[in-house]
Amino acid sequence: MNPRPAGDGFGLHLVTDERVPFARLLEVVDAAASAGVDVVQVRAKSASGREFLRQARAVADAVAGRALVLVNDRVDVALAARDAGARIDGVHLGQSDLPPTTARRLLGAHTVVGWTANTPAHLDAASAFPAGTLDYLGVGVIRPTSTKPNHPPVLGVEGFAGLAARTALPCIAIGGVVDGDVVALRDAGAAGVAVVSAICAADDPGAATRAFRTAAAFATPGAVAAR
Ligand SMILES: Cc1ncc(COP(=O)(O)OP(=O)(O)O)c(N)n1
Ligand SMILES: Cc1nc(C(=O)O)sc1CCOP(=O)(O)O
Ligand SMILES: [Mg+2]
């Protein structure tokens, strides 16, 4: 089960920003879902398990089936939110979270499991998992970003391309990405982009989402050939 791309075939992931007051964040999620975001990932690094569960359920309610909803880091929170009736489509796991093989077993085949891969060794480890373990890789950072303190080294578009070339898995570019990067990242092999600030900090998150969608449409192979 791959993260469902929009009609232009380019995946747009919104990762929630815990710096934004939660009521505003739900407005952002609603606007982005209306404007065609493909995936909303609930990220709440400093929340308790109980608070993270509350946020995951509320985000899933706000999305209301218009995009996939993933939980960052916490398989237990994804399971608990599902148990409470929320539509949770999967998880995004980092290198220090539960192994993707465990997540796959616990969450089942019809669940999205994404994994962070920032180095050649991570890419090779991703390829070594049994087929069907992972749906996509998050690869970054493209640029320095204040959203993730102590983020991994900056790859730039060229560094991203080098990592993406090592795997057949879809690679989602993350870290400092803006809509003006979409064409270059797609040309570099990105199956999509994941953004926090570019949508969450925008005055008009719907317009910000549409700017990514428009850029992705211009970056489709057909549109490139037609230019
Ligand atoms: C799509 C996507 N890619 C990478 C990440 C980073 O995940 P992780 O390495 O677990 O870091 P945190 O987000 O937990 O700080 C991501 N969240 N999404
Ligand atoms: C959550 C996250 N993970 C990253 C990684 O490279 O693993 S970069 C990042 C933050 C992305 O936020 P923004 O779009 O505001 O730069
Ligand atoms: Mg993580």
What is the 74 CA–ligand 3 centroid distance (Å)? 8
Whole-angstrom distance, CA of residue 227 vs CA of residue 225? 6
145 labelled binding-site residue: yes
Whole-angstrom distance, CA of residue 181 vs CA of residue 178? 6
**Which protein residue's CA is at the shortest distance from atom 12 of ligand 2?**
196
HSE, side-chain direction, 13 A CA sphere, residue 91: 27
**Which protein residue's CA is at the shortest distance from atom 8 of ligand 2?**
175
- State the Rg of the chain over Cα: 16
**pLDDT at position 221:** 57
Interval 61-80 mean pLDDT: 98
Whole-angstrom distance, CA of residue 43 vs CA of residue 48? 12
44 labelled binding-site residue: yes
Greater confidence (222 vs 79) lies with: 79
| Fold exhibited by the domain 11-217 | TIM Barrel (3.20.20)
**pLDDT at position 217:** 77
Residue pair 80/126 in contact (Cβ under 8 Å)? The answer is: no
**pLDDT at position 5:** 79
Query: Which amino acid would we find at residue 88?
Result: I
Domain boundaries, the chain: 11-217
Query: Is the minimum distance from the CB of 69 to ligand 2 under 6 angstroms?
Result: no
In this prediction, residue 96 has a pLDDT band, given cuts at 50, 70 and 90, of: very high
**pLDDT at position 226:** 40
